[in-house]
Structure 1
Amino acid sequence: MRIGILQTGQSPEPLREEAGDYPDMFTVLLAHPELSFQRYDVEHMQFPADVHECDGWLITGSRHGAYEDHAFIPPLEDFIRKSIDAGVPMVGICFGHQIIAQAMGGKVERYEGGWAVGPQTYDFEGEPVTLNAWHRDQVTRRPEGARVIACNEFCANAALVYGETALTIQAHPEFRDAFVEGLITTRGPGVVPDPLMAAAREKLGQGNDSGRIARRIADFFLRRG
């Protein structure tokens, strides 16, 4: 099954040599003998010709806000709607989670409660799941028909499903602890409050559930392949 990775941003250049770019992280996270991957740099307007060009789609994270004025956002929203209408399975992570919600009629905003950085624990369909996060924007109103499958006190719409066609997650199962540490160093200063970054650092290295969520994402694609 071929998964098209729709890249909507780039990892920080100082971290890229060791950690790779966002598509590299997902290729590692979702490594499975029945899955192959193709990359599309949609941030720079490299779009698939058709929603059936791949068997499934994954939208990455990004520094951009879904509500911002960027050339790639309107065609990406159009692609999302066409893909979901056609029943092609789609997964969205962080920005991907947000842009799918926005494309389907939900609302994304800069959250007045601030940032989520580092390990966060969610109620994921009745079970605790800990994943790394890095976001201030949130889905503040989910689209009609979207069902919440994960939340916590900070993020009410932490994961959503759209029928049998789309699965979206606000946190970053693809972010290893070392990469989050790198983000704290390269992107955090002057943007994320220092006490929040210090608290995130204390939680790193204690393990998380990215493997469980990776299996869930892979199973989601394979069941529909």
Structure 2
Amino acid sequence: MEYNHMLEGEQWDSFRVVDGEFPDEKDLEKYDGFVISGSSHDAFQDTDWILKLCDIIKKLDDMNKKVLGICFGHQLIARAKGGKVGRARKGPELCLGNITIVKEAATPENYFGEEVPANLRIIKCHQDEVLELPQNAKLLAYSSMYEVEMYSIKDNFLCIQGHPEYNRDILFDIIDRVLAGGHIKQDFAETSKATMEKNEADRKFWQKICKNFLKGQPSLLV
């Protein structure tokens, strides 16, 4: 799944906010939804582009726009809305992870559909986490590693710590690159790859959740 994989009638625009490329505020209204993706930067940094993105998140909230936050986006939305973000207390994750769905919170309007799974597999690649949710956020999923794996705010924010768009090849490429760069050790790399020996991420289910959220059509999830 790629966020900019277009279906008929869709138009996607990309902005490299890390390079200072933002949509004009006067153009925000023309978009039906937004995706804030992953980043190698920390969501708790106070660099100019991160602070500006926090301001835009607040504006999008005021406009009731749909915003999907992935990994860094998941963390930054929590920060912008009054939550707390920091280094992961149990350490980084670079693997296929299993998260537990909070069934009483994951109702059809959260785009899971009527058959809410107990668990979902998703590829994880991060060293930071949401330490404290914003006051009006609803926890949708957690894991043995992290208390906040997925949450929503009202009907316009859906945030996921893992990467629903990643597949095995992407994960292995990242592992190889960070190993070559000396950021992880060989045994950590081998353990990370071993998580995908017998299982795959639930990418089709995640794809439907994300698309249904952005389109506001939970009935599409079958």
Range class of TM-score, shorter chain: 0.7 to 0.9
Separation (CA, whole Å) in 2 of partners of 1:104 and 1:194: 38
Separation (CA, whole Å) in 1 of partners of 2:201 and 2:169: 13
Aligned counterpart, 1:145: 136
Higher strand share: 1
Q: Is residue 208 from structure 1 mapped to residue 190 from structure 2 by the alignment?
A: no
Q: Is residue 62 from structure 1 mapped to residue 39 from structure 2 by the alignment?
A: yes
- Paired amino acid for 2:18: E
Identical columns (%): 25
Q: Is residue 83 from structure 1 mapped to residue 60 from structure 2 by the alignment?
A: yes
8 Å CA contact 1:119–1:133 kept in 2: the answer is: yes
With over 3 angstroms needed to count, the CA separation of the structure-2 counterparts of 1:155 and 1:49, relative to structure 1, is same
- Paired amino acid for 1:76: L
- With 182-191 and 77-86 compared, the bigger mean Cα shift is at 182-191
Q: Secondary structure at the match of 1:39?
A: coil
Match of 1:112 among 76, 89, 98: 89
Q: Is residue 123 from structure 1 mapped to residue 100 from structure 2 by the alignment?
A: yes
Aligned counterpart, 2:154: 163
8 Å CA contact 1:101–1:108 kept in 2: the answer is: yes
8 Å CA contact 1:146–1:163 kept in 2: the answer is: yes
Q: Secondary structure at the match of 2:48?
A: coil
Alpha-carbon shift at residue 193 of structure 1 (Å):
4.5
Alpha-carbon shift at residue 65 of structure 1 (Å):
0.1
Aligned counterpart, 1:198: 190
Separation (CA, whole Å) in 2 of partners of 1:52 and 1:185: 41
CA deviation map 1:55-79 (0-9, x unaligned): 1100010000011232201110000
CA deviation map 1:35-57 (0-9, x unaligned): 33111111111111123131110
8 Å CA contact 2:88–2:129 kept in 1: the answer is: yes
8 Å CA contact 2:167–2:201 kept in 1: the answer is: no
Separation (CA, whole Å) in 2 of partners of 1:70 and 1:46: 14
Alpha-carbon shift at residue 34 of structure 1 (Å):
4.8
Alpha-carbon shift at residue 191 of structure 1 (Å):
2.2
Separation (CA, whole Å) in 1 of partners of 2:22 and 2:203: 28
Alpha-carbon shift at residue 81 of structure 1 (Å):
0.5
With over 3 angstroms needed to count, the CA separation of the structure-2 counterparts of 1:188 and 1:82, relative to structure 1, is farther
Separation (CA, whole Å) in 2 of partners of 1:195 and 1:125: 33
> What TM-score does the superposition give when structure 2 sets the normalisation length?
0.84
Separation (CA, whole Å) in 2 of partners of 1:114 and 1:194: 17
Aligned counterpart, 1:222: 215
Separation (CA, whole Å) in 2 of partners of 1:57 and 1:101: 16
Separation (CA, whole Å) in 1 of partners of 2:92 and 2:22: 31
Alpha-carbon shift at residue 218 of structure 1 (Å):
0.5
Aligned counterpart, 2:171: 180
- Count of residues paired in the alignment: 199
CA deviation map 1:148-206 (0-9, x unaligned): 10111101110010010100000001111111101011124532344332122112252
Greater Rg over alpha carbons, structure = 2
Aligned positions of 1:92-103 closer than 5 A: 92-103=69-80
> What TM-score does the superposition give when structure 1 sets the normalisation length?
0.83
